[in-house]
Amino acid sequence: MKKFIVPFSIILFLLFSMNTINAFAASKTLTQGLYSLKDSGLSAGVDYNVQNNSSGRAMLLIVDSTQLIQELIRFEPNSRKYTMKPLNYGDIIIIVTAGNLEFS
């Protein structure tokens, strides 16, 4: 019986002492410019929702590593959210706007 209690107690202690980390995508706001995936702070392989929160129009252009346009989205002022394709590591993000685009 003692052989069972000691390992059970250790396992129980380890289970309750582990910290769980919840991963939630925080929204990221980008202004006009040219960004690599690393510079933008966005993650590869994640579907992002993009929204124009400013009062002016905006354009988002995604170019891959072979210099082909993967996605082009034109945003009206205070637009609804658009779901983008997942980004890859070699992608370049080009934003043309006087305001901000919010990625969530």
In a domain, 33, yes or no: yes
Contact of 62 with 34, CB cutoff 8 Å: no
Contacts (Cβ under 8 Å, ≥6 apart) of 14: none
Q: What is the pLDDT along the chain (104 residues), one digit of tens a residue?
A: 667 787 777 777 777 776 655 555 568 899 999 999 888 888 888 889 999 988 899 999 999 999 999 999 999 998 899 999 999 999 999 999 888 899 98
In a domain, 93, yes or no: yes
In a domain, 14, yes or no: no
**Domain range holding 35?**
24-103
Count of structural domains within the chain: 1
Q: Please give the model's pTM, rounded to 2 decimal places.
A: 0.72
In a domain, 3, yes or no: no
Give me the DSSP letters along 3-41.
HHHHHHHHHHHHHHHPPP----PPPEEE-SEEEEHHHHT
- What pLDDT does 33 receive? 92
